[in-house]
């Protein structure tokens, strides 16, 4: 599997899993021991543990869009994403970011670094992802 194919698979997987809060589906996208940085200033985490923690504050059914990988080189790809989530307290939050991904030969993520921002309320993406 090429990094571009792996990135497309990863994006489709995350998009569906985020909507349903499916932690097991997210875990299947990562190699054992993957290095996962959910934010530039956080220590590495287990991807499934991070997803479970993040989903605790959200209602299921987030409006999620993952773009196609827009850069691939060697074993790495970059994917842009955008989500509007409803917090358990009823408020909406918008998150937008990019994920820098490195894949193994089986198409599983071995390293991920995310750069993102969030804002209260609904914000539309700049353009269709």
Over the range 89-127, which residues count as b (16 or more CB within 10 Å of their CB) and which as e?
eeeebbbbbbbebbbeeebbbbbbbbebeeeeeebeeee
Return mean pLDDT, the chain: 94
Q: Classify residue 52: in a domain, yes or no.
A: yes
Range of the domain at 39: 3-120
Q: Classify residue 70: in a domain, yes or no.
A: yes
Q: Classify residue 46: in a domain, yes or no.
A: yes
Total number of domains in the chain: 1
pLDDT at 73 (0 to 100): 82
Q: Classify residue 23: in a domain, yes or no.
A: yes
Strand-strand pairing, 30-37 and 109-120: parallel
45: which strand partners? 36
Q: What does residue 20 show for φ and ψ, rounded to 5 degrees?
A: -95, -5
Span 3-41, pLDDT tens digits? 999 999 999 999 999 999 999 999 999 999 999 999 999
Q: Classify residue 87: in a domain, yes or no.
A: yes
Residue 128 clears pLDDT 70, i.e. is over it: no
Q: Classify residue 129: in a domain, yes or no.
A: no
pLDDT at 127 (0 to 100): 75
The reported pTM is 0.93
Q: Classify residue 20: in a domain, yes or no.
A: yes
C-beta separation of 11 from 57 below 8 A? no
The proportion of the chain whose per-residue pLDDT surpasses 90, expressed as a percent, equals 84
Q: For position 69, which CATH number holds?
A: 3.10.450.50
Neighbours of 70 (CB within 10 A): 13
Q: Classify residue 128: in a domain, yes or no.
A: no
The proportion of the chain whose per-residue pLDDT surpasses 70, expressed as a percent, equals 98
């Amino acid at each position: 599997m090429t990094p571009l194919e792996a990135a497309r698979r990863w994006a489709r997987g995350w998009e569906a899993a985020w909507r349903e809060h499916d932690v097991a589906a997210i875990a299947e996208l990562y190699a054992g021991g993957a290095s996962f940085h959910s934010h530039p200033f956080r220590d590495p985490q287990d991807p499934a543990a991070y997803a479970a923690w993040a989903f605790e504050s959200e209602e299921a059914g987030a409006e999620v869009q993952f773009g196609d990988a827009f850069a691939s080189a060697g074993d790495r790809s970059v994917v842009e994403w955008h989500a509007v989530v409803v917090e358990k307290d009823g408020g909406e939050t918008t998150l937008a970011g990019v994920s820098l991904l490195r894949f193994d030969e089986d198409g599983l993520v071995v390293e991920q670094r995310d750069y993102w921002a969030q804002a209260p309320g609904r914000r539309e993406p700049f353009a269709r992802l």
